[in-house]
Structure 1
Amino acid sequence: MAGGWTSDGAVQEQIDSSIEDAIARARSQLPKGESLSHCEECDAPIPEARRQAVPGVRLCVACQGAHDKAQQAASGYNRRGSKDSQLR
């Protein structure tokens, strides 16, 4: 049932679109190419086990953790916010 200015299924379309955007963003951030032997940020050696487990790895565990934490702080916003979500 649609309410106000929304059409039937508008909420589901918004959810689907948000999920598709998140998947596309995650896929674009996957490492590609050959793994580095040393971290590109701090120059610490990257263990062989990590290089084999994560093809294309470019950061050591510590730098990757800091990078992930910074990414997490910037995510979670509904950029397509509907009128209803903005009112809550």
Structure 2
Amino acid sequence: MADIADFANDLVQERLDQALAARAAQLSAMPLSSLMFCDECDEPIPEARRLAQPGCTHCVECQSADDVRASRYAR
């Protein structure tokens, strides 16, 4: 049997879901800017990569190494 606390929890959850969806939509609408230099090795990130992958923070070599590391721990 549902009581007032259940209704309140449902309302709070609905509002939280709406706020998170609005935040996700807002973030996806913002243009991402890429870094000029790699976060890991401080080498310049080529312009072609920055244009192809907006928001990138690593050069191709460091991103590849990071992907390999991540795949090992994903199992």
> What TM-score do you get using the length of structure 1 for normalisation?
0.48
| TM-aligned CA deviation for residue 75 of structure 1 | 1.2
Rg: which structure is higher?
A: 2
RMSD: 1.3
| TM-aligned CA deviation for residue 59 of structure 1 | 0.1
What is the distance in 2 between the residues matched to 1:36 and 1:60? 9
What is the distance in 2 between the residues matched to 1:74 and 1:65? 15
Matches within 5 A, 1:22-41: 33-41=32-40
Q: Which has the higher helix share?
A: 2
> What count of residue pairs does the alignment treat as equivalent?
45
Secondary structure of the residue that 1:72 maps to in structure 2? helix
> Unaligned stretches of 5+ in structure 2?
1-30
Partner of 1:52: 51
> What TM-score do you get using the length of structure 2 for normalisation?
0.56
